[in-house]
Amino acid sequence: MTSYDKQDKTFEVTWKRKIQRLLGVYVLSLSVVFVSTHASADVYVFHDGGGAAYFTNMPGEGRLKVRLPLKREMPQTKARKTEKALKVFYDTRGADFEPVISSASELFAVDPNLVRAVIKAESNFNPTAVSPKGAMGLMQLMPATAREMGVVDPFDPVDNIHGGVAYLSWLLETLKGDVALALSAYNAGPSRVFGQNRIPPFEETRNYVDTVLNYYKYLKGKNKL
């Protein structure tokens, strides 16, 4: 956790940058109004030391010729990023694990599409994946969870998937089939979900649940008979 001094400094720097941006936008607006009345002339843009943009019809060093009207590219929305990820969902390694996904899903009564979605989000079908927190294998089992589920080798795909699906099945059963809550518990731990009846207020967990549910929805539609 940062100190109060660092927080104050960060606050000050942030507001300085906001002011610079506001000034830049103000100057930009005035400049565009001016140069737009001289559409036949060439227009050049340059920036001062604070990052503010200025327009002129005079060429010079450090001045770039631009074409009006200017178009600002909007940042990718979360929905667009998700859509892009879904289009490249299938990994060539994913097909290798289909038999064990099907068998484990049938054994523990879990939708195989949900299992595929979890594996995609957890490890991107990498059986040797290890997270900074120590989660292992395809379904990113923590050491304690792996032991509880009887997983001997978390890097063995068969062992890992059976343990992960068994764990997911238990969470679904305990949470009365609520997929979002079960995924929250899978990510953040059961103690943060059981008895709360809500997704924990952690950005990582909320993003994780959204990602898996989007994958799940996509797969259910794609694999619908």
Question: Which candidate, 35, 30, 40, 38, places its Cα nearest to that of 56?
Answer: 35
Q: Which residues pair with 106 in a beta bridge?
A: none
Helix (H, G, I), strand (E, B) or coil at 92: coil
Q: Is the peptide bond before 69 cis (omega within 30 degrees of 0)?
A: yes
> How far apart are alpha carbons 183 and 175 in whole angstroms?
10
* DSSP-derived 3-state class of residue 66: strand
Is 173 one of the catalytic residues?
no
d(CA 193, CA 175): 9
Among residues 61, 98, 122, 203, which one is catalytic?
122
- Residue 215's Cβ-count burial label (10 Å; 0-12, 13-18, 19+) is buried
- How far apart are the two ends of the chain, measured CA to CA in Å? 51
- Token readout for 207 is 């993003």
Total H helices, total E strands in the chain: 8, 3
Three-class SS state of 65: strand
Integer Cα distance of 96 and 110 in angstroms: 19
Active site residues: 122
